[in-house]
Amino acid sequence: MINAFLLIGQSNMAGRGYLQGAALLDHPDILMFREGEWMQAHEPVHQDRSFAEAGLCMSFADTLRQGGHKIGLIPCAMGGSALSEWIEGGELFENACRQTQQALATGAVLKGILWHQGEADSEVAETAQTYCQRFLKMLGALEERICVKNMPVVLGELGSYMALRPENPYWQEVNRQIHKIADSHQGFAVVSSEGLKDRGDTLHFDTPSLRIFGVRYAHAWQKCAGELGVVLE
């Protein structure tokens, strides 16, 4: 059986780490949903941009598949997207619902939702300070549409290197809001970005950091899943 995970958010979920010189994590038990079917995953898993490369999802999947499980990735993140673009009825929301429904129609079972987003919402105070309530509204609509309840949800912090970006002065507020989201619900977890580095643009995690981040996401999911009684099959 395929244990499926929905990947949503913006570019750091889609993956902007450089692949040149990176160790590949391809494995027959790591699958991705593309063009209406499951196939063996390889990077770039996302195709949101022509320059998509390494992401966090492969090390996430590689960590979980080592128990002898098939891990399926449903890539729906979109680089540059603000949280407002993920509202119900919007193109990104509808695509995520459609892709998930199609993937589950194959017999796969959704085991979690992975989210990394917020850079686009850290530019002004209003979007940063309302992040929690807007995310929870979006997530509630998403879960209702794809007919899931008590689903593990894992969110990642923005990188601390954003302190070097004057155009994103509210990145710390977004991180506080992300923790507020997780603190308000059982089965939610926040993944620390402590010690992770950017690729030189003060915006995107580098490949080694993404590999670490993915493992942290996997461990956070295991914690969430344990709270909710969700198991890999």
Residue positions counted in the chain: 233
> E strands, the chain, where?
2-9, 30-34, 37-40, 70-75, 109-116, 153-156, 188-191
pLDDT at residue number 184: 85
pTM of the model: 0.98
pLDDT at residue number 190: 98
Q: Are 79 and 53 in contact (CB under 8 A)?
A: no
**Dist. CA 77–CA 66, nearest whole Å:** 25
Cβ-proximal residues to 27 (8 Å cutoff; 6+ apart), any chain:
40, 62, 65
In the structure encoding, which two tokens stand for residue 222, read together? 């295991």
**Dist. CA 67–CA 65, nearest whole Å:** 5
In the structure encoding, which two tokens stand for residue 230, read together? 């969700």
Per-residue pLDDT of the chain (233 residues; tens, 9 = 90+): 999 999 999 999 999 999 999 999 999 999 999 999 999 999 999 999 999 999 999 999 999 999 899 999 999 999 999 999 999 999 999 999 999 999 999 999 999 999 999 999 999 999 999 999 999 999 999 999 999 888 999 999 999 999 999 999 999 999 999 999 999 889 999 999 999 999 999 999 999 999 999 999 999 999 999 999 999 99
Q: Are 108 and 4 in contact (CB under 8 A)?
A: yes
pLDDT at residue number 150: 87
Q: Are 85 and 78 in contact (CB under 8 A)?
A: yes
Question: Which tens digits make up the pLDDT trace of 30-88?
Answer: 999 999 999 999 999 999 999 999 999 999 999 999 989 999 999 999 999 999 999 99
CATH class of 2-228: alpha beta
> E strands, 41-105, where?
70-75
In the structure encoding, which two tokens stand for residue 46, read together? 């996302």
pLDDT at residue number 149: 86
pLDDT at residue number 108: 98
Encoded amino acid at 40, one letter: Q
